[in-house]
Amino acid sequence: MIFRAFRTVIAQIAQFLSEKGVAGAPESYQSLVIYPDVEAVMSSNLRPYKELFPQIGLRVMVDPSSVVIGDVRIADDVSIWPLVAIRGDVNYVSIGARSNIQDGSVLHVTHKSSYNPEGNPLLIGEDVTVGHKVMLHGCTIGNRILVGMGSILLDGVVVEDDVMIGAGSLVSQNKRLESGYLYFWQSGKTNPPPDGGGICRAEVFSQQLCEVERRLPGSGKPDPTLRVFLPIAN
């Protein structure tokens, strides 16, 4: 599969890193409040905003070079890789179980206003892979999604379950991406679809990164400007 080589490289890198994650560094993390299912812990890279605190699930890895601020709700087995910024200040961010946010990504939200009373929180489902240097702003991402590196998803975008978004894609405000497709920004150019071997379930990829992370330290139709190649194979 197209991701096999990448997974191999990640696994090799992980062998050289220590095996303690967030929970393995009690001298650096201070527990602030216990919730029924999650514990909020604070450090230099897990920070409050006013009275809002990050809520962290079990077996979560947050790289020390990343920053998580304010009302950010992270479920179990999530991994936040180096140089990620997640800011839940004027609204909240929710990241579902087994999802991974890769290096250099920026996640933010939209404030509440008279014309948008609820604002736009950022909602990320389960088994989602957010590639390197992705920007997600006030959008909703379903389950088993792959967001290709360098992509930008703007306010109000809704991505249904089981979608792949090609690298470098720009999804404009309030667009809805229908389930079961690969979307790719092509500026009017149409390429042939990739072969079947290039289609990999995002759920499988997220599970692979969960294994790597455990070894680290502690509805409308598709928008016509986004080229639709083919349904994702079952």
Check residue 215 and give its pLDDT. Answer: 57
Give CA angle at 22 (93, 25), nearest 5°: 145
Residue 173 and residue 154 in contact, taking contact as beta carbons nearer than 8 Å: yes
pLDDT of res. 115:
87
Q: Report residue 44 as tokens.
A: 């230099």
The CATH number given to whatever domain includes residue 39 is 2.160.10.10
∠ CA 152-109-216 to the nearest 5 degrees? Answer: 75
Among 153, 56, 146, smallest CA distance to 99 is for: 146
pLDDT of amino acid 166: 93
Task: Measure the CA–CA gap between 41 and 51, rounded to whole angstroms.
Answer: 14
pTM for this entry:
0.70
Distance CA 121, CA 108 (A): 8
Residues 6+ apart with CB under 8 A from 174: 155, 156, 157
* pLDDT tens by residue, the chain, 234 residues: 444 444 344 434 433 443 334 433 333 333 333 334 444 445 679 999 999 999 999 999 999 999 999 999 999 999 999 999 999 999 999 999 999 999 999 999 999 989 889 999 999 999 999 999 999 999 999 999 999 999 999 999 999 999 999 999 999 999 999 999 999 875 433 344 444 444 455 555 566 566 655 655 443 444 455 444 444 443
Number of domains observed in the structure of the chain: 1
pLDDT at residue number 209: 61
pLDDT at 145: 96
pLDDT of residue 194: 47
* Bridge-based pairing state of the strands 46-47 and 67-74: parallel
Question: How are strands ordered across the β-sheet holding 181-185?
Answer: 61-62, 79-80, 100-101, 129-130, 145-147, 163-165, 181-185, 226-231
How far lies 75's CA from each of 32, 82, 91, 94, 228, in Å?
17, 18, 18, 8, 31
Residue 212 is predicted with a pLDDT of 59
What is the span of the domain harbouring residue 183? 4-188+195-231
What distance in Å separates the CA atoms of residue 108 and residue 36, rounded to the nearest whole number?
26
Query: What local confidence, expressed as pLDDT, does residue 64 receive?
Result: 94
The torsion angles phi and psi of 116, rounded to 5 degrees, stand at: -145, 80
Q: What is the DSSP letter of 44?
A: S
Element (H, E) at 213: helix 202-213
Q: Are 144 and 162 in contact (CB under 8 A)?
A: yes
Q: What pLDDT does residue 24 have?
A: 33
